[in-house]
Structure 1
Amino acid sequence: MRADHRRGRSRRNAIMAVTALLAGGGGLVAVNYAANASDVTATAPTTRSAQTISCPDVKGKLPAVPQQAQAEVDRNLQLLDRQTAEANQRLVDTRGQGGPNFVQNAILGPLTDKRKATIDRIAIAIGRTAAKPTGLDALAVCNLGLDAPGTQTSGAGTAASQSPGGAQGDGGNTGQQGNGSGAAGQSNDGPTAADFVDITKVAPNVPKVRRQAGASTGAFTSRCGVNKQGQHNSDNDIVAPGVSNGAHHVHDYVGNRKVDFTSTNESLSAQGTSCTNGDQSAYYWPVLRDTTRQGPDANALGGGAEGNKGAILVPATVTITYQGSPTGKVVAMPRFLRIITGDAKAFTNGTKNANAHWSCTGFENKVQLTDKYPICPSGSKVVRSFAFQSCWDGRNIDSADHRSHVAFADAGGNCASGFKAIPQLTMRLTYKTPAAPNFAVDGFQGQQHNAITDHNDFINVMTDQLMNQAVSCINSGRRCG
């Protein structure tokens, strides 16, 4: 069972013990790393045992900086210090939370993405008037380690610029100025015109799925609206429970009325829902934005301060359907099962866990795109579709990597040995978008807002009675909901 069943009580009982090491202008916050292992008793850190996030020195690796680029380079070096200080503060604030991969997924990974973008801007600034330095990307990766007071991360900051208590908003905003390229209102790290394709010129690529005798052919639909109420935040209760802005991009929500970093199984089951059938499940995905217009979160974390610029587009339709297995009957999902489909970092991680599908109304049965956004003909809407993993290990509602407890069926529709077929959650979102390339999905810095990073998150909060009703409909070949 999921370790954070008890995290509501753990949060209330947590005792925060931290030491700020400000000597020498380093401004780094130190914390005992054991504090981020939920099963370890935290002890007060000392200057001998304290661990901080330690990042490679960027300034010392730079070639001679042209005078014309000096001011911009200095600003970005200071930003690197602020990013590290903010990450160290998160290390302090989230002690005792998450599983064994929490620090890497929620703190070190996002920090690496931010540093890559900032270091790239430094290289671009130098390259305008001199030879552009290469090989700096290796300096983006930070680690946990014992740090002596006074250690500087980039060699440019002052105590004021590194202090986590000050210019978080300013630091994030500065970090997104980029190199001045890109369309108005559009994030400078993508997408570009090359990331869009005319769907009428793409050859059909949708395979036919053959059903075997005994297949479960029914369907169960939850009608949950399109989030017109504007339930948005940049949290992710699956990957980063207890961490505000744990997603670093904004999510749309339908279903459960209150889903954020404070959510627990108990709080989710106590909330109302936007679904007409009483389905309290949490359905959420990164927002799509019109990059020609400025949104209200232009300077906010999760939004413009982290590269996600533009006005949030409300979907025209959201369709949530549970389908059967082409090879046999399905069993009920356990309540509070968590599933993530797709990979928010597929642009850099590769396609192993990618599961993005983009199309246009009228073309969905013929063409599905994975790493490109569609240019749709007049009168056709952009479609994002998701087919979640439909095989469950029969035991766990979550796993350390948030993936191992569920899996996709093979090409023939069969689950691997030890896995059971469950109702397959499918979602279809349609949008009326501005002309290409003026829309983009929210994402992490460094992912270029690439279409392949699209993903979707789900927490099953159906009552057992409603889930059993869904299974009965699916297995008997009926359509319900």
Structure 2
Amino acid sequence: MGRTSRKRRSSLTTRMTVASAALLLGGGGLVAVNVYASAHEENSSGTGQDAGSDAAQQQQQIATIDCPDVGTSLPDVPDRARGEVDGELATLDTQITEAYQRLASTRDAAAQDPAFVQNAILGPLKDKRGAVLERIRLEINRAGGRAPDGLGGMAQCAGQPSGGGTGDGSSPDPGNSAQPSAGSPEGSAQPSDGASQPGDDGGGGGGQNQGNGPEASDFVDIRSVQPNVTTARNRSGASRGTFTTKCGRNANGKFNPDNVIVAPGVSNGAHHMHDYVGNQANDAFASDDDLADGDTTCRNQGDKSTYYWPVLRLQNGNDENDVDADGGGKDQNVGEIQTPSSVTLKFDGNPTSKVVAMPRFLRIITGDAKSFTNGPTNANASWSCTGFENRQLKDKYPICPDGSKVVRSFRFQSCWDGTNTDSANHRTHVAFEDPRTGACPQGFKAIPQLVQRIVYDVPPGPGFAVDSFPEQLHKPVTDHGDFINVFDDRLMRRVASCINRGDRCT
């Protein structure tokens, strides 16, 4: 199997077997569920656990590992240290993945000894993380920067039961729009007394990644969710046009478990598989020049941008070709990868002002691949169903009625600081517009807003999940999208002009 592409072997026949994974009542209640999946990464709590607290939490069976997210705490890494720090952050991710895999393979020992997780897993992990954090501190200071105070205190991780999500025992709230925000759709599906739960073996491979998520409670019948989408009203001076680029739906099957934005130069830096459309040169080692010279699946060859997101898999117990590969079965991402039935990539304007052209090689990440442990602050993917897209979910997967398809969508940050194409934490150089007024924060300029809409024709019921870091348990709140602008400058200026004129362009 090639690292960045392969052929799928899924067929309609095998995909339809997952329909037997769920029996649904007319009102969307779950009668029986049998789902299998994968997981994800770090948190901002950093609170330690002693044997006593471990014993109390062990009663709920610790499901995953919750670590402070170091990357988001480093907004000012000097350019000279950026490569070394990115590599060390990738090492932290690998350490968490390895600790999670040990947790998953020792559940029996953990159940018998309340102190086992702390002594055998979390304690050694703290020591390893401490050494990496010290190297990060030295690299930043050596390059003339100043490492944040308390960096060493982020070495401690905690065990977390599967129902957690914010580091304080609460679950993330779903948003009510396609921007990070609070809100709580009604009607979350709960398993009935007869609903089966994921098992406890947590082992990878074999197509049955039990104990790794998702759970029945991660799904909700979309018909039970109240309409919850609101948008800012266009005002005088708004840029009302759109530009749509057609780049296919990854029918050629380009995948890899890399992330050139977050972990450049690191193979398997994402620990989960990504779908790619647009630029075909994208892997962990791609430079800006590589992307500029790469082929593209986009119809307009002036758009060599790269658009990528975690693959969606059927959790039907069947293996995919990557069952023994990094990012696949080795990282507890199993099941048949689904090709989207459609992918729409559209650039919108701003409700209050004209937009400026994006700079070439601007990098934007929307959503947070670690939201299950980090909490929902940066969560930004939305889940819905065709015919119900005025009802959006962030921390639940939708159960769609017959004839309706699953929709996942991302509205990317649309305000730019006017200077930087990236930042050390990959967030602070861009921002969201105000959800009520549409205005950008002071000092930021409005840019065309990328809106991705990805549609899947999967069997109805709770039988699918996105890839994730192993410890993130395939929670829907961890969904995220990545974009690098590789439009040629002339075409990007045309995009901005079209949007500012109020036209609909392709």
TM beyond 0.5: yes
Indicate which of 455, 462, 468 corresponds to 1:437: 462
User: Alpha carbons of 1:109 and 1:324: their partners in 2 closer, same or farther (altered >3 Å)?
Assistant: same
Give the deviation of 1:406 after TM superposition.
0.4
Give the deviation of 1:109 after TM superposition.
2.7
Contact 1:396 1:405 in 2 (8 A): yes
Instruction: State how far apart, in whole Å, the 2-side matches of 1:313 and 1:227 are.
Output: 10
| 1:143 to 2:161 alignment | no
Provide the residue aligned with 1:72 in structure 2: none
| Aligned pairs (5 A) from 1:24-423 | 98-99=82-83, 101-119=85-103, 121-122=105-106, 124-126=107-109, 133=116, 135=118, 138-139=122-123, 140-141=125-126, 142-143=128-129, 145=131, 178-179=201-202, 185-278=208-301, 279-292=303-316, 293-364=318-389, 366-411=390-435, 412-423=437-448
SS in 2 for 1:220: strand
Contact 1:100 1:400 in 2 (8 A): no
User: Could you say which structure has the larger radius of gyration?
Assistant: 1
Instruction: State how far apart, in whole Å, the 2-side matches of 1:320 and 1:431 are.
Output: 15
Instruction: State how far apart, in whole Å, the 2-side matches of 1:260 and 1:180 are.
Output: 28
User: Alpha carbons of 1:363 and 1:379: their partners in 2 closer, same or farther (altered >3 Å)?
Assistant: same
CA deviation map 1:82-138 (0-9, x unaligned)? xxxxxxxxxxxxxx995364144211133124313423542x212555668564564
| Aligned pairs (5 A) from 1:460-471 | 460-471=485-496
User: Alpha carbons of 1:181 and 1:226: their partners in 2 closer, same or farther (altered >3 Å)?
Assistant: closer
SS in 2 for 1:197: strand
* Structure 1 stretch displaced more, 241-250 or 327-336: 241-250
Contact 2:104 2:202 in 1 (8 A): no
Instruction: State how far apart, in whole Å, the 2-side matches of 1:249 and 1:177 are.
Output: 21
User: Alpha carbons of 1:363 and 1:131: their partners in 2 closer, same or farther (altered >3 Å)?
Assistant: same
Which segments of 5 or more consecutive residues in structure 1 lack a partner in the other structure?
1-60, 63-95, 147-175
Contact 2:401 2:460 in 1 (8 A): no
Counterpart amino acid of 1:226? R
Instruction: State how far apart, in whole Å, the 2-side matches of 1:183 and 1:433 are.
Output: 22
Contact 2:340 2:454 in 1 (8 A): yes
SS in 2 for 1:267: helix
SS in 2 for 1:357: strand
Root mean square deviation of aligned Cα? 2.5
Provide the residue aligned with 1:456 in structure 2: 481
Indicate which of 433, 436, 453 corresponds to 1:428: 453
SS in 2 for 1:352: helix
Give the deviation of 1:207 after TM superposition.
1.3
Contact 1:409 1:416 in 2 (8 A): yes
Indicate which of 490, 499, 502 corresponds to 1:474: 499
SS in 2 for 1:446: helix
Counterpart amino acid of 2:266? V
Give the deviation of 1:272 after TM superposition.
1.8
Q: Paired residues, what number? A: 357
User: Alpha carbons of 1:247 and 1:334: their partners in 2 closer, same or farther (altered >3 Å)?
Assistant: same
Contact 2:203 2:332 in 1 (8 A): no
User: Alpha carbons of 1:97 and 1:246: their partners in 2 closer, same or farther (altered >3 Å)?
Assistant: farther
CA deviation map 1:205-257 (0-9, x unaligned)? 11142111111000000000000111111111111111111111111000112
Which segments of 5 or more consecutive residues in structure 2 lack a partner in the other structure?
1-50, 53-79, 133-198
Contact 2:104 2:201 in 1 (8 A): no
Contact 1:125 1:179 in 2 (8 A): no
Counterpart amino acid of 1:430? V
Percent identity, aligned pairs only, is 51
